[in-house]
Amino acid sequence: MKAQETMPTTKVERSAKFVKTGFQIGGNYIKHYSKKLFNPELSRDELNEDNASDIYNSLSELKGSALKIAQMLSMDKNILPRAYVDKFTQSQYNAPPLSGPLIVRTFTKSFGKTPEKIFDKFNIKSTHAASIGQVHEAELDGKKLAVKIQYPGVGDSISSDLKMVKPIAFRLLGMSEKELSIYMKEVEERLLEETDYEREVRSSIEFAEACKNLENVVFPGYYPALSSSRIITMDWIEGQHLKEFLKSNPSQELKNKIGQALWDFYNFQQHELRKVHADPHPGNFLITKDEKLGAIDFGCIKEMPDDFYEPFFSLTSTDLFNNKEETIKAFRKLQMILPNDTSAQIEFYYKAYKEMISLFAKPYVTDTFDFSQEQFFEDLYTYGEKVAKMPEFKQARGVKHFIYINRTNFGLYNILHELKATVRTDTFKPHVKRN
């Protein structure tokens, strides 16, 4: 993959890139409808593939929030055509790397020194390039280190990027204008936090300390003195990403062990810390040689206030559904049922959300759960597609916290499904009062 010498960093450059992508998508539609004149049966598969390619290539070069959105969309498997999911999933693992001179400039700006003056060894070629930064191998005092460098202009471009990506997202997601605005606002807040590397170092140290007693989960050590607002230095963790791990044909026993570590990692945070690592894509984890789960990225943290946590987890983990009145009360607290809803609407949303949450909560209802079940995921996606087409769901519903908490849990479910893991789901239970 060719290194990028420069990155479009100004609003004008980035805007031009989005406009060009818009023209390409328009061209793909013209090509599609021209072909359809001669072949009325033509499906949208080729159109989706062409669009997915053009959008992905554009977002890859822009990196930052643009590529992060592709990453997020790839995890929402039930709201995008397959071609987009397949293409965007690449963004979980790679993006074109930055060139050497650009890296040296970033170091000089942060520390007044080049990387060679700071470390005993520094590999100018990145080992891993993702949405907001890329990772380099380094060595200091005999210790192997991972150095994450943020792409220039990422933080400054978030708001304008999101405005420009909005029409593309609008077309892809089919959300209402209001719903898309809530989605984008929450994404913007989390992305701004993710570009603050000093905050990430503090979060990483705090989470590693809080989760240190979890079985089979390991964290790198972090070095605040060798980190800055654009650079993070941490211990190098040797291991395989999920894709490589699964290619190595691990035993079911080992897949269950890693799956259990993942389940515990997420549910300990949700229920004991009330804040959670909200970026569960496979690129953020490594499986180490001694069969442990390495968690390597704490940029995206979502806190859960009590007025969200209590009603939400009461619905997934108590017998609240046996009491219709109390269930509707919880739906109101979560703004899933709104003050001006008619009695017919209340009845409709009560039934729809009850079905939705009953499906989502299946892993919580039993002591163990087999995530290899195709039927469970088929039911989730089918229901998601059904809801997406219902006019009743075009209006934005639900508090903003759903965006990242749903993303976190569905992301977790998807990784467990890829592992085909059976896990004990009673290890960390929600702390809510039973009726």
List, as one string, the DSSP characters of 3-24. Answer: PBS----SHHHHHHHHHHHHHH
Count Cβ neighbours within 10 Å for each residue of 408-426 and write b for 16 or more, e otherwise: bbbbbbbbbbbbbbbbebe
pLDDT above 80 (res 61): no
pLDDT of residue 190: 75
Residues 288 and 388 in one domain: yes
The residue among 26 and 328 whose pLDDT is bigger is 328
Residues 404 and 286 in one domain: yes
pLDDT band of residue 239 (cuts 50, 70, 90) is very high
Q: Which two tokens stand for residue 69?
A: 């959105």
State the chain's mean pLDDT as an integer.
Answer: 79
Residues 318 and 169 in one domain: no
pLDDT of residue 365: 86
Whether 210 is covered by a domain: the verdict is no
Domain end among 175, 206, 229: 175
Q: Could you tell me the end-to-end alpha-carbon distance of the chain, in angstroms, rounded to an integer?
A: 57
Residues 164 and 246 in one domain: no
Q: Are 372 and 421 in contact (CB under 8 A)?
A: yes
pLDDT of residue 184: 73
Whether 344 is covered by a domain: the verdict is yes
Average pLDDT of the segment spanning 325-346: 93
Percent residues over pLDDT 90 in the chain: 42
Residues 315 and 170 in one domain: no
Among 62-76, 364-378, 403-417, the range scoring the smallest mean pLDDT is 62-76
Whether 17 is covered by a domain: the verdict is yes
pLDDT band of residue 425 (cuts 50, 70, 90) is very high
Q: Which two tokens stand for residue 307?
A: 């007025």
Whether 144 is covered by a domain: the verdict is no
Q: What are the CA-CA distances from residue 255 to residues 260, 263, 267 (Å)?
A: 8, 12, 18
Q: How far is Cα 289 from Cα 292, in angstroms, rounded to an integer?
A: 7
pLDDT of residue 176: 64
Q: How far is Cα 140 from Cα 283, in angstroms, rounded to an integer?
A: 25
pLDDT above 80 (res 236): yes
Over the stretch 394-406, which tens digit does the pLDDT of each residue have?
666 788 888 778 8
Residue 290 CA to its chain's centroid (Å): 27
pLDDT of residue 137: 96
Residues 297 and 422 in one domain: yes
Q: Is the dihedral of CA 243, 246, 248, 250 positive or negative?
A: positive
Average pLDDT of the segment spanning 259-278: 94
pLDDT of residue 222: 96
Choose the most confident range, by mean pLDDT, from 38-47, 81-90, 120-129, 329-338: 329-338
Over the stretch 170-208, which tens digit does the pLDDT of each residue have?
555 555 667 667 767 777 777 788 888 999 999 999 999
Q: Are 266 and 236 in contact (CB under 8 A)?
A: no
Percent residues over pLDDT 70 in the chain: 70
Q: How many CB atoms lie within 10 A of CB 163?
A: 14
Q: Which two tokens stand for residue 184?
A: 């984008």
Strands annotated E in 212-352? 217-218, 231-235, 239-240, 275-277, 285-288, 293-295, 301-303
- pTM score: 0.76
Overall number of domains in the chain: 2
Whether 265 is covered by a domain: the verdict is yes
Whether 379 is covered by a domain: the verdict is yes
pLDDT above 80 (res 378): yes
Q: How far is Cα 236 from Cα 297, in angstroms, rounded to an integer?
A: 12
pLDDT band of residue 89 (cuts 50, 70, 90) is very low
> DSSP of 320-346, one letter per residue?
GGG-HHHHHHHHHHTTSS-TT--HHHH
Whether 131 is covered by a domain: the verdict is no
pLDDT of residue 168: 62
Angle between helices 252-268 and 401-419 (to 10 degrees): 170
Residues 246 and 359 in one domain: yes
Q: How far is Cα 235 from Cα 248, in angstroms, rounded to an integer?
A: 25
pLDDT of residue 90: 45
Average pLDDT of the segment spanning 355-359: 89
pLDDT band of residue 225 (cuts 50, 70, 90) is very high
Residue with tokens 């009845």: 347
Q: Are 299 and 234 in contact (CB under 8 A)?
A: no
pLDDT above 80 (res 2): no
Q: Counting Cβ atoms within 10 Å, is residue 32 exposed (0-12), middle (13-18) or buried (19+)?
A: middle
pLDDT of residue 420: 96
Over the stretch 102-150, which tens digit does the pLDDT of each residue have?
888 889 999 999 999 999 999 998 887 766 788 999 999 999 999 999 8
pLDDT of residue 33: 45
pLDDT of residue 213: 94
Residues 281 and 166 in one domain: no
Residues 269 and 417 in one domain: yes
Q: How many CB atoms lie within 10 A of CB 396?
A: 17
Q: Are 367 and 423 in contact (CB under 8 A)?
A: no
The residue among 31 and 162 whose pLDDT is bigger is 162
Average pLDDT of the segment spanning 52-80: 51
pLDDT of residue 77: 40
Largest CA-CA distance found in the chain, in angstroms, rounded: 70
pLDDT band of residue 75 (cuts 50, 70, 90) is very low
φ, ψ (nearest 5 deg) of residue 128: -160, 125
Helix, strand, coil shares of the chain as percentages rounded to 5? 60, 10, 30
pLDDT of residue 6: 46
Residues 267 and 393 in one domain: yes
Residues 268 and 170 in one domain: no
Pairing of strands 217-218, 293-295: parallel
Average pLDDT of the segment spanning 249-257: 97
Count Cβ neighbours within 10 Å for each residue of 187-204 and write b for 16 or more, e otherwise: bbebbeebbbbebbbebb
Residues 288 and 397 in one domain: yes
Whether 125 is covered by a domain: the verdict is no
Residue 273 carries which side chain, given as an amino acid letter? L
The residue among 37 and 99 whose pLDDT is bigger is 99
pLDDT of residue 381: 78
Q: How far is Cα 255 from Cα 75, in angstroms, rounded to an integer?
A: 21
Q: How many CB atoms lie within 10 A of CB 220?
A: 20
**Residue 27 lies in domain:** 11-94+157-175
Q: Are 77 and 85 in contact (CB under 8 A)?
A: yes
